[in-house]
Amino acid sequence: MPEEPFRPSLEGAHHYAYVVENIEATVERLAEQLGAGPFFLVENVPLENISSRGEPAEFVHHSAFGYCGGGPIELMEIVRLVPERIEGRFSGARPGVHHVAWAVPPASVEDLRRELEDRGLPEYLSAQLGELDITFHDASASLGHDIEIHVDSQGLRDFFQMVREGAEAWDGSEPLRPVAT
């Protein structure tokens, strides 16, 4: 009898992320052309404990989160990436799809990350943002983009609820807004 196939518990993508040259210009186009917005901007995303394959790394970027076509998206404007292997994962035509993200229950996230690694989808970047634990996995050969795994948390759900509610009540004004801190 054949072995049961690996089927990770990745139910419903959390969000889709795009690398862009300029967040402000991209938001203006998305609002005008697709009615997307508003977008909530986090400048210099305050990540901590950034590493790549066990080595210290830098992942300096701005992100704007909004809704487009009924689903959450992230726009990423890159400032600085170190080491070179990370820089390579964010290169390419812009705008362009960078990753699809999933929020995974804390109890199963380490097993999932290990299984992705074992199956040829190596983790190349990890970081934390408060209670948010993030890893990026190279899925480019299989999907043409990467995978981001988040440990599901109340803070993550609350932030994206704020983004969703902003989209539901949006009147088209102020398409790019700073995140209240």
pLDDT in tens, 4-57: 666 566 677 899 999 999 999 999 999 999 999 999 999 999 999 999 999 999
Closest CA to 161 of 40, 32, 25: 40
> Does any domain span residue 62?
yes
Residue type, 143: L
State if pTM tops 0.85: yes
Instruction: Tell me which DSSP letter residue 92 carries.
Output: S
Residues of the domain holding 85: 15-167
Residue 37, helix vs strand vs coil: coil
> Does any domain span residue 90?
yes
> Does any domain span residue 43?
yes
Length of the chain: 181
CATH number assigned to the domain comprising residue 107? 3.10.180.10
Q: In percent, how much of the chain has pLDDT > 90?
A: 77
Which residues are CB-contacts of 129 (< 8 A; sequence separation ≥ 6)? Answer: 45, 46, 47, 48
> Does any domain span residue 6?
no
> Does any domain span residue 34?
yes
Tokens of 47: 């990540």
> Does any domain span residue 173?
no
Residue 91: its pLDDT value, please?
A: 87
Q: What is the pLDDT of residues 109-148, one digit of tens each?
A: 998 999 999 989 999 999 999 888 999 999 999 899 999 9
Instruction: Tell me which DSSP letter residue 111 carries.
Output: H
**CA-based radius of gyration for the chain:** 16
Residue 48: its pLDDT value, please?
A: 95
Residue 101, helix vs strand vs coil: strand
> Does any domain span residue 39?
yes
Residue 82, helix vs strand vs coil: strand
Instruction: Tell me which DSSP letter residue 113 carries.
Output: H
Euclidean distance between CA atoms 154 and 124, whole angstroms = 26
Provide the domain count of the chain.
Answer: 1
Euclidean distance between CA atoms 134 and 104, whole angstroms = 10
> Does any domain span residue 122?
yes
